[in-house]
Structure 1
């Protein structure tokens, strides 16, 4: 099937849908740095594109079976001001549905694939999510949704709500629940839920982060290297045991918000790391490592963060050539998780008894 990639970011939707055999016909992304990564990673030559969804007219849009859009979450996230659909950014959801209203019914996409933070279900007492359902109903879509955790396929605890809209009369397949018989997801060139990375410390020894091919259970915070009483964002100093899951990646703006792990924790404490002093009294960064009086701590690298979202190393290195580390961190945190999209896409398509047109192809259910 053909799809249109709205609020495209670095192409998490695109990677997952293409892995399931679908074809991208165009994309919209306003952030110039995300566009640079997107165009470096994918073959976009000749595709329709636009920068700002607010300036797009329905008549410009290429025909597509699927529209994907992880519309901005800043007004919905528990970390934001929680204005919900009253906010300027998250209300862009209605900009997309406005474009659909302007299309003749025969030209409307058969499937909508939408992603946002879990808080969308409950913000403003659940009224905003009800507004979303009413809006989709009014433009002709029956909806289903589920909360899926990236930890099912990758060692990152990241719960997001995924919504699928089915245009009435097109006989599209029910998607949820998504049930997997195996946690191993093949991303073409490598198993993406293996985020093993080699890191050489000052002694020349090495430690591994998440060596296992199966997701670890639980996020294990072992301490904080900032004084949480005098610092307005304790997340900046949180330190995690590498034997647990990563916390949910965010856009990591302002520096210092990258997830931090203990290097070789068992070398410092045979029973495992029990605690870390809440305030660092001595230490310095060297080669991405913070050395305290008792142990060595390091930030996850941009590559590791991209792996935690299911991107291949090849994709990361293409983006790395056109963007700074700060942008690469931000882009990973803002992305959807590729293998989760792939799992959903594997179940999307038309019922087998529906006659396909020459421009549509069925995605077989696995």
Structure 2
């Protein structure tokens, strides 16, 4: 789906494994700069985007705004842990700061602001957890809104979108879109399939020989899932006991067991620990199994051409931290005409603002 009719350029900040870039590449935008500090994510990114330049691996706080290449759209999935429900709960239990008070991650939003202020791109897209809007009683989001809308002068639009429209995963994320000039942008233009119509069967290995075996994920002529993904008796017994303990206490904690006709919970970066949020039922065996990394890739909207050059542990972390690609491809589709309109209204090369 290539929509751009003139050269649209984007930069990919906190790039991870390139989910946002993949979405905007799909509509014809061109990436001019990528920033990602995690070495394993860089490895996956560079395996899938064969540019002449490497990902800038510095902490974004160490990157001068003027070092970033010219662009029309800034993309940033800035770290969500300081604002997520799970992240806030963990930091509270450890007596640590969260939100903007978390100086290691929470203030990275202002590095995005620093770059927006310098380059004044035609638009931007920011992504974060749903909880960003309610964090700290709404005060965190009010700072973000006021900074982008009032201080920088961008027209702001935001909406929480669930990946269940496209994928068999309940994954709600807030999408924040901004334009430097007034536009006719409307979320009503999103074409969202009915929620929940896509089931786990669309991402699970069929294990019937209709797909080729892949690495250590699937084996043999039927490409059956490697037995290493089946939970051990010890882990399965622990998860069942843990769930029962919380059920007795009236809590909702526990594993999520799914079959081909189901949808699943949110895939998290902690999936590598025990896989408990998404366990796949197995016929003829007592214990369920984890998803393979390839199934995790499919669950996030990456097709099977996407290369996974890292260990299972790193792959689980990367896909758990990724965006749901089809959601953002649709957002990119409705953003592009507005970006092109802004470019046509100012037919000149963007210049950095001192």
Give the TM-score normalised by the residue count of structure 1: 0.73
Contact 2:125/2:177 (CA < 8 Å) preserved in 1? Answer: yes
Match of 1:112 among 109, 124, 134: 124
Contact 1:193/1:310 (CA < 8 Å) preserved in 2? Answer: no
- Residue aligning to 1:300: 291
Q: Distance in 2 between matches of 1:240 and 1:75?
A: 30
Contact 1:195/1:304 (CA < 8 Å) preserved in 2? Answer: yes
Q: Distance in 2 between matches of 1:121 and 1:85?
A: 13
RMSD: 3.2
1:195 counterpart = 2:203: yes
- Residue aligning to 2:114: 98
Q: Which has the higher strand share?
A: 1
Match of 1:174 among 185, 189, 197: 185
Q: How does 1:321-332 map to 2 (within 5 A)?
A: 322-332=309-319
Contact 1:112/1:164 (CA < 8 Å) preserved in 2? Answer: yes
Q: Distance in 2 between matches of 1:326 and 1:236?
A: 21
Match of 1:127 among 109, 118, 139: 139
Q: Distance in 2 between matches of 1:17 and 1:306?
A: 18
Contact 1:226/1:236 (CA < 8 Å) preserved in 2? Answer: no
Q: How does 1:35-184 map to 2 (within 5 A)?
A: 35-46=42-53, 49-81=56-88, 83-88=98-103, 89-101=105-117, 103=118, 107-137=119-149, 138-167=151-180, 169=181, 171-180=182-191, 182=193
Contact 2:165/2:193 (CA < 8 Å) preserved in 1? Answer: no
Contact 1:224/1:238 (CA < 8 Å) preserved in 2? Answer: no
Contact 1:143/1:164 (CA < 8 Å) preserved in 2? Answer: yes
CA shift for structure 1 position 224: 5.3
Deviations 1:38-94 (A, max 9, x none): 000112213673421010111111110000111111111110126222113122101
- Residue aligning to 2:4: none
- Residue aligning to 1:32: 39
Contact 2:269/2:319 (CA < 8 Å) preserved in 1? Answer: yes
Q: Distance in 1 between matches of 2:55 and 2:129?
A: 28
Contact 1:173/1:347 (CA < 8 Å) preserved in 2? Answer: no
Residues 67/78 of structure 1: CA separation in 2 closer, same or farther (3 Å cut): same
Contact 2:242/2:254 (CA < 8 Å) preserved in 1? Answer: no
Residues 254/224 of structure 1: CA separation in 2 closer, same or farther (3 Å cut): closer
Deviations 1:177-225 (A, max 9, x none): 35326569xxxxxxx9932412379xx99999xxxxxxxxxxxxxx952
Q: Which secondary structure state, in structure 1, belongs to the residue aligned with residue 331 of structure 2?
A: helix
1:341 counterpart = 2:349: no
Q: Which has the higher helix share?
A: 2
Contact 2:272/2:316 (CA < 8 Å) preserved in 1? Answer: no
CA shift for structure 1 position 18: 0.6
Q: Which secondary structure state, in structure 2, belongs to the residue aligned with residue 115 of structure 1?
A: strand
1:244 counterpart = 2:256: no
1:9 counterpart = 2:16: yes
